[in-house]
Structure 1
Amino acid sequence: MHLNELNLPTTAHGRVNHGPTLVIHGGVGTILRTSFPREEQEQYLEALRTSLRDGFRILESGGTAIDAVEAAVRYMEDSPFFNAGKGAVYTIGGNIELEASIMDGSNHRASACTLLHHIRNPITLARTMLTTKPPVPHVFLGGAQAEAFARDKELEFVEQGYFYTEKRWKQHIEGLEYPPSNSESKGTVYGKSVPRDHDPNPMGTVGAVAVDREGNIATATSTGGRNNKWDGRIGDTPLIGSGTWAENATCGVSGTGNGEFFIRYAVCHDVASRMRYLGESVQEAAATVVEGLRKVEGEGGVVAVDRYGEVAMPFNSPGMYRGYIRADMEPQVFIFGDD
C-alpha cells in the first residue's frame, strides 16, 4: 500500500507526516543467527518492544520528545541485555565506566556525562543536567564532579556490583586473551588478533530518537563503552555530534559502533549536514554516512528520524538491535541484516 493511501496528513510541500515517531537501537556487532538461539532472540526483541512502548506512551499522550527518549533509554539501561547500565561491559581494569548524552533539537541544548561508576541511570543524569534550575553552565561533566552533581540532585546511586552480569564478566575475561578485532585496535594491548566469528568486544551502545506532536526532535544515547577499553577512555556516546545529534530542521541521530571512528568522522552530525546542505532524505544521508564508515573499516550503525517521522536504521555489521513505533502500530523490532 502506498503511504498516501493511509490518509496520513501531509505538509505544504506534499510530504507525508507520520506524526509522533520513536526509533531505538540496542547495539551493533557480530550478531549471527547460527549462534543465537531463538529463545534468546525473543528475549532481546521483547526488551526492544518494551523500550519502544515506554517511550511511545509518552508521545501518544502528548508528551515531549525529550521525555520519550529518556524513558526508552532508561529502560534499556535497566535491562541486563544491553551494554548500558545494568548490562554494561567492563574496562580492562575490571571496572564499570558509564557515559550518556541527550540533546533537544528544538533549541540545540545538550548535556553529557562520562566516567560514571555509581549512577544507576546515566541518561537521567544527562537529562537532569539539561533541565535543572538554575541551569548547569556546562554541556559536559565527568567523573567525580558529575557524580557529585547527581548526589546533590538525589539521583539513584548503586555499588559497582549492581552492574554485574555473568555474560559481561565472561566477555571481560575472554577479552584479556583476545584484543578488539577491529583493525583500529589490533596490537595495542596484547598484540593478538581475534577470529572474525569470535568477537569478545561487543559494541552495545543504546540510543533513542523521537519526534513529538509539535515536530520537536530529541536524541538520547547511553553506553558502557567497548569491552576492555582502557580505564578513563571516553567514547563517542557523550560527544555531541559524534554519537548524538538532534535538530528540528534536519533530524535526530544516535550511533552505535566503534566510537573512535564515530568521533573522528563526526558521524551523527554528518548525517544532519548531508540533509542540510545536499538536500538528502534522512534515509539517504544515514546510509551514505554508514557506508563511508565501512570504507575506513569502521563498524557501526545509526538510527535517525526527521521531523516528519521518516525513519532510518542503517548499519554495516551482521546485526543491530533496532526498532521503531508510530501511532496505531505495534512495535517493529529487528536484529539481523535480512530482517
Structure 2
Amino acid sequence: MTVNVGVIGAGMIGADHIRRLTTVVSGARVRAVTDIDAARAAAVADSVGARALPGDTEVIGAGDVDAVLVASWGAAHAESVLAAVAAGKPVFCEKPLATTAEDCLRIVDAEQRHGRRLVQVGFMRRYDPGYREMKRVIDAGDIGTPLMVHCAHRNATVPESYHSAMAAHDTAIHEIDAVRWLLSDEIVSAQVLTPRRTAHRFEHLQDPQIMLFETAGGARVDVEVFVNCQYGYDIQCEAVGETGTVRLPDPAQPAVRTAGRSATPVLQDWKERFTVAYDVEIQEWVDSVAAGAAGGPGSWDGYAAAMISDATVEALRSGRIVGTGIKARPDFYA
C-alpha cells in the first residue's frame, strides 16, 4: 500500500520531510503541499510531482490524501491537527503539538472522542539508534533501577530572537520527552538553576540554565542547556542505575592524528546529528499508517511535554520548585 501524504508547511523542516518522503522513505507519496508562502509551496510541490493547495483545510479534505504531515509554525499546529482528527486522517505533527497545554488537551479530547489514536508527535530522539539502545538496556534491567539521569543540550550559537523561555519550550523539550520515555516515568516537578551567564549571549538571555526534574518514581534528572557553547552541537545523556550506568554514544566521527594531536570533529547542527532518527521516524510513521495502527509518541506525550516545559519556565521566573500538574493518564493512552 502506498500512503498518500498531504504536507502542511513547506519551510525548512517541511521541505526536508517532503524530500525524505520522496527519496528516502518507502511506501509513501506526497500528493499535496500548502504553505503560508504560496510561491514556496508551489515550487516544493512541483519538485516532487505534487500539487500546491491554498491551505490546510484543502489539504486535509483532499480525497487523495490518506494522511497529513504538519510542519507549519507552532502556533498553527493545533487547528491543523484538530481538523485532521475530525476528518479521521492520521497526522504526524512536528513538535510542539500545540503552543499551549490547553490546546494539547483539546487534541487529546478530540482523539478520544474519535475512538482511535491518529496523532504522532515529532519527538525524533526516540528513533535515534543510541537512544534506542539506552532504552533497551534500561528496560532489560541491565543497570538496575534508574536513580539519576544527566543530560546536556548544547548549541554553538542561537539568534537574537531566542529568549530564555525557549530553553525549555524549544530546546530541553527533547530531553523532557526522551527522559519520560527512557524511564517510563512521569516528571512531577521542575526547578531551574542559573549559573553565571556566558559572555557569548545577547543581554536578554539567561544562558546557560540547569534544569532539575523529579519523576513520580523518585528519579532525579538534570539537564544542562547551553545554547552559546561556541564549539558545536553536543547532545549528552547518561542514566545511572543501582548496578550500572548507560551513556548515549557520541556520533561516529573519524579520529585525525596530525601535528602531535589526535582529534575528532564535533557536529555543528541538529539536522546532521539526527538525520538517521528523522529517517526512521517518518518511515515508521508511514508503516503505522499503512497498517492502520498508531505508534510512537502521541497526543498525550505532546500534552505532558507542554505541561512540563511550562512548569520549567515558571520555575525559571520564580526561582521556586514548580509542580508540573499533569493530569492522570487516560486508559486510552496506556
TM-score by length of 2: 0.28
Q: Tell me which of the two structures has the higher relative contact order, counting C-alpha pairs closer than 8 angstroms and 6 or more residues apart.
A: 1
The structure with the greater share of residues assigned to helix is 2
Q: Larger C-alpha radius of gyration, 1 or 2?
A: 2
